[in-house]
Amino acid sequence: MRYAGRCIPFVLIVCSGCQTGQLAGTRWTVLDISARDSADQDRIENIESVCVEFQTRGAMKTVVLRKDGTRTVEDNERYHVSGNTLVIRHPDYERRMTFKISDETMEIWSEDFAVTLERLPAPALERPAMTRPETIDWRPELRRLPTPRFHRR
């Protein structure tokens, strides 16, 4: 970059692995969720399955499939990890939660809820060579997921 004829250093800051921790590049499905508030509990009882993907540069994608067949995708969230604290930022809110990973299971809890998730296999990087793209289901997280157990705390 030039400013008044002089070169000015340009710095690009990219979210690195130290901020995304061991969650970067992982996908999870919800096995169990419980909420303290009865209004939240009623809302989550309508959920069939949830898949969460923590992308490598701090972006986060959540796919929710409801029992009535509707599907919502939330890809407006960003995350970062500091120790055992997971911070999720959305344009409308910020949530701080504690998490713990053991083997293929992750537990997340806050003052409002507790969630148990199971790790999903990483998505394939390449498409199969001899298959038409429109015949492949690229969303394996929405197929044959374990039925979540919802209960009140």
pLDDT tens track for 93-102: 899 999 999 9
Q: How confident is the model at residue 143 (pLDDT cuts 50, 70, 90)?
A: low
Q: What would the mean pLDDT of 15-42 be, rounded to a whole number?
A: 80
**Average model confidence (pLDDT) for the chain?**
77
Percent of the chain scoring above 90 in pLDDT:
36
The DSSP letter of residue 5 is: T
Alpha-carbon distance 50 to 29, whole Å? 6
Torsion of CA 52, 55, 58, 62, to 10 degrees: -20
Residues 28, 119 contacting (CB under 8 angstroms): yes
**Those residues with Cβ within 8 angstroms of residue 49's Cβ, 6 or more apart along the chain or in another chain:** 29, 30, 64, 65, 141, 142, 145, 148
Q: How confident is the model at residue 85 (pLDDT cuts 50, 70, 90)?
A: very high
Domain ranges of the chain: 21-121
Q: In this structure, how many other beta carbons lie within 10 angstroms of the beta carbon of residue 108?
A: 21
What pLDDT score was predicted for residue 3? Answer: 38
Helix ranges restricted to H, 48-141? none
pLDDT tens track for 44-65: 888 889 999 998 889 999 999 9
Q: How confident is the model at residue 22 (pLDDT cuts 50, 70, 90)?
A: confident
Residues 62, 80 contacting (CB under 8 angstroms): no
Q: What would the mean pLDDT of 82-99 be, rounded to a whole number?
A: 92
pTM here is: 0.67
CATH class of 21-121: mainly beta
42-51, 93-102, 115-124, 137-146: the lowest-pLDDT one: 137-146
Q: What would the mean pLDDT of 84-94 be, rounded to a whole number?
A: 91
What pLDDT score was predicted for residue 79? Answer: 93
What pLDDT score was predicted for residue 57? Answer: 86
Alpha-carbon distance 93 to 83, whole Å? 21
